[in-house]
Structure 1
Amino acid sequence: MTDERPVIGIFGAGKVGTALARLLLAAGYEVVLSGSPRQTALDLLVSVVAPGARVADPARLVEDADLIIVAVPFGKSRTVPWETFDGKVVVDATNYWPPIDGTIPAVDEDPRTTSEIHAAINPRARIVKSLNHLGYHEMEDDAMPAGSPLRRALAVVGDDADARDLVARLIDDLGFDAVDGGRLVNGRALEPGHPAFGRELSASELAALMADERVPVG
């Protein structure tokens, strides 16, 4: 990222999406939000819960955004236009959560991480898994200035090293230390029921955990 802040597009205007929007706006980013077609008066909602963010339809969001965050329930993730994300850095902040999404046998039986499943929809998108192992209520409460000894860490995994670097800088601006977790397959550690999910860890603690959980190459 250059000194000029990129435009961040967020799919999902629920609790996660709007919490991220507020943090990004406070950090000086321009934010574009797109919500469910069933959400009524979305402009009014966003003006109240994330003042300064702009509402756009999916096509305009993809056109305007330099980096996209997908923050919708996993069960609704196929409503996101992944096929239009060619060349875009896309942060997959979703989680498969049966109490919310219901049981999805195809996902239960799939050996891939959920972000690998999403990446396969459009291999030309630069998918990075992050932000999913942090609760929406913790995003604003736990954000701290750079250099704080109590700063919480978030992992960044993806098959594109440059995309991971871009997202790591974004994580830092949000108020968290970023830990490079390597390839997208290593994202299993960040999912519900796995070691990093929901845990308050420092950068050194999270780096050690991710090293232990790293999937061997080959």
Structure 2
Amino acid sequence: MGAAVARLSLAAGYDVAIAGSGAPESIATLVRHEAPGATAVTAADAARADIVVLAIPRGKFRALPVEALAGSLVIDAMNYWWEYDGAVPELSDPLTSTSQTLQSFLVGARVVKTLNHMSVYALEHEALPAGASGRKALAIAGDDPRDVAAVCAYVDAIGFDPVVAGDLSTGVMLEPDTALFAADETAEEVRAILDRFWDSQRGRVVARARAARLE
């Protein structure tokens, strides 16, 4: 996922820096091979980018540099898989989206959810110019309209139609076990899937939990 997003960003004319969990030297060869033109940097250096894309295992989000990311516009492209990440109650709580949990942890950062629900194949091979017939769409969820607008512009630049789902709580509609997840669709169909969310099994579970909280 990280490499695919890096290549898309490079093709769109962005300067791209990639960081891992260790020193830049530990990933330099991989970066040259997987994303020619990108630069291997420290996590602290990557955090100073105009847009930071998080594409690490969701269960490791507490290893992120909170202070370095304060003030940064952060795209949450991560998904929670209990089979891989282990059971993490705060990430499976239907009262919140996983992006809200991330936002609570990354104090001072500005989190926007996108890039996570489309298959890596579609990201890699189905990007198209704006206005092209059959162009695929990416749903976006975020609390600040200015940040959402900035991410919409980025999504459009890398080859996909942006579809705003709502605030960060609606990021639950983009997560695994929803109809949108792994659905590589046009903007019209993405909107239709989002509209049907509350009638789905996952939507009903979330709605019941959130209604009970208000009682």
TM-score, structure 2 normalization:
0.86
Q: 1:25 to 1:150 in 2, by over 3 A?
A: same
Matched, 1:44 2:29: yes
Name the residue aligned to 1:84: 68
2:182 to 186, 195, 198: 198
Partners of 1:68 and 1:91 within 8 A in 2: yes
Matched, 1:66 2:66: no
CA distance in 1, matches of 2:182, 2:169: 19
Partners of 2:66 and 2:107 within 8 A in 1: no
Matched, 1:164 2:148: yes
Query: Could you report, residue by residue, the CA deviation over 1:162-183 in whole angstroms, capped at 9, with x for unpaired residues?
Result: 1111011111111111001110
Query: Could you report, residue by residue, the CA deviation over 1:36-61 in whole angstroms, capped at 9, with x for unpaired residues?
Result: 32897411111111011011111122
Within a 5 Å distance, the mapping from 1:55-134 to structure 2 comes to 55-63=40-48, 65-109=49-93, 111-134=95-118
Runs of 4+ in 1 over 3 A off after TM superposition: 38-41, 211-216
Q: 1:157 to 1:109 in 2, by over 3 A?
A: closer
Matched residue of 1:180: which SS? strand
CA deviation after TM superposition for structure 1 residue 210, in Å: 2.3
CA distance in 2, matches of 1:134, 1:83: 30
Same amino acid, percent of matched pairs:
38
AA aligned opposite 1:48: H
Matched residue of 1:69: which SS? strand
CA distance in 2, matches of 1:109, 1:154: 24
AA aligned opposite 1:115: S
CA distance in 1, matches of 2:72, 2:82: 29
CA distance in 1, matches of 2:193, 2:99: 19
CA distance in 2, matches of 1:127, 1:115: 7
Name the residue aligned to 1:11: none
Q: Whose radius of gyration is greater, 1 or 2?
A: 2
- Tell me the number of residue pairs that the alignment of Structure 1 and Structure 2 aligns: 201
Matched residue of 1:131: which SS? coil
Name the residue aligned to 1:35: 20
Of Structure 1 and Structure 2, the greater helix share is in 2
Which range moves more in the overlay, 106-115 or 153-162?
Answer: 106-115
Query: Could you report, residue by residue, the CA deviation over 1:61-86 in whole angstroms, capped at 9, with x for unpaired residues?
Result: 223x1111100011112111133322
TM-score, structure 1 normalization:
0.85
AA aligned opposite 1:169: A
CA distance in 2, matches of 1:52, 1:153: 26
Matched residue of 2:153: which SS? helix
The root-mean-square deviation of aligned C-alpha atoms, in Å, is 2.1
**Which residues of structure 1 form unaligned runs of 5+?**
1-15
CA distance in 2, matches of 1:40, 1:108: 35
Partners of 1:130 and 1:157 within 8 A in 2: yes
Partners of 1:130 and 1:156 within 8 A in 2: yes
1:54 to 39, 58, 69: 39
CA deviation after TM superposition for structure 1 residue 132, in Å: 0.6
**Which residues of structure 2 form unaligned runs of 5+?**
199-206
AA aligned opposite 2:27: L
Partners of 1:186 and 1:213 within 8 A in 2: no
Name the residue aligned to 1:17: 2
Matched residue of 2:16: which SS? strand
CA distance in 2, matches of 1:137, 1:31: 20
